[in-house]
Amino acid sequence: MIITDTHTHLYSEAFDDDRSEVIERALEAGVTRFFIPAIDSSYTEAMYALQKSYPKQMFLMMGVHPTHVKENYLEELSHVKEQLETRKFVAIGEIGIDLFWDQSMLQKQQVMFRAQIQLAKQYKLPIVIHCREAFDEVFEILEEEKGADLFGIFHCFTGTFEQAQRAISFNMKLGIGGVVTFKNGKIDQFLNQIDLKHIVLETDAPYLSPVPYRGKRNESSYILNVLEKLSDIYGVSKDYIAEITTENSKSVFKL
């Protein structure tokens, strides 16, 4: 059984004391493909070091996380462009809009989201979207940019059934992680109405740990708890869920 974690921040400071052990636990659990989203330029070297240590398992994205869009956003955008010119990445991400923490940066987040979508199109790469308290704002930009050259993953999907359908209409897979195991997560109530071909697995480690680890540091091996929940929701084996979601990840990332 090959399991793919399409979204894990294994370079995060949260893993500085035991990163190799965390990765080993994931590998032993059957997680052999790790897709690594960017946050901002301050993490670039840590991402590169991670990939150098595990070149066959770690696949890097490049981009600026919406909560890290600050006054220096144009410098950060230049950094993204420079990195894209010097090495290969599997996606532009994670990018998007986050209005949970700070609404004052909305305009700059919109500028960055559009600019990074354009880079994805230029390099023929998927996008990985971060959306928090901002479905309308994200959908507005996706509507402007929609087309055959716009595709990717709606990371940590937490919306309604209608929002799920709309995300899928923009050639997006739904990234399903720990939230699906929460009692108040809600997505478990309609997920079986979404064809599995639209689903990929993720952890968002070190964030959003699934039950029974909720509130603790997340890690990629905990994707097994997400896998088990989806097996219950869809009424199919965990092996089947792993196989289909891994194939879906291959169709997005082209590897």
- What is the per-residue pLDDT for 102? 87
Confidence of residue 41 (pLDDT cuts 50, 70, 90): very high
CB 38 within 8 A of CB 94: yes
Mean pLDDT calculated for residue range 146-150: 96
How high is the mean pLDDT of the chain? 97
Give the count of domains, the chain: 1
pLDDT over threshold 90, residue 117: yes
Which structural domain, as residue segments, surrounds residue 104?
3-253
Quick one: pLDDT at residue 73? Answer: 95
DSSP β-bridge partners for residue 34 = 5, 58
- In this model, does residue 229 exceed pLDDT 90? yes
Task: For residue 184, name the pLDDT band (cuts at 50, 70, 90).
Answer: confident
What is the value of pTM for the model shown?
Answer: 0.97
What residues contact 24, with CB distance under 8 A and at least 6 apart? none
Q: What's residue 185's pLDDT?
A: 85
Indicate if the pLDDT at residue 101 is higher than 90: no
C-alpha distances in Å from residue 208, one per residue of 53, 173, 181, 182? 25, 19, 10, 10
Position 107 pLDDT exceeds 90: yes
CB 228 within 8 A of CB 254: no
CATH number of the domain encompassing residue 94: 3.20.20.140
pLDDT by residue (tens digit) across 53-80? 999 999 999 999 999 999 999 999 999 9
Residue 7 has what pLDDT?
98
Alpha-helix runs per DSSP H in the chain = 19-28, 44-53, 73-86, 106-122, 135-145, 161-169, 223-234, 238-253
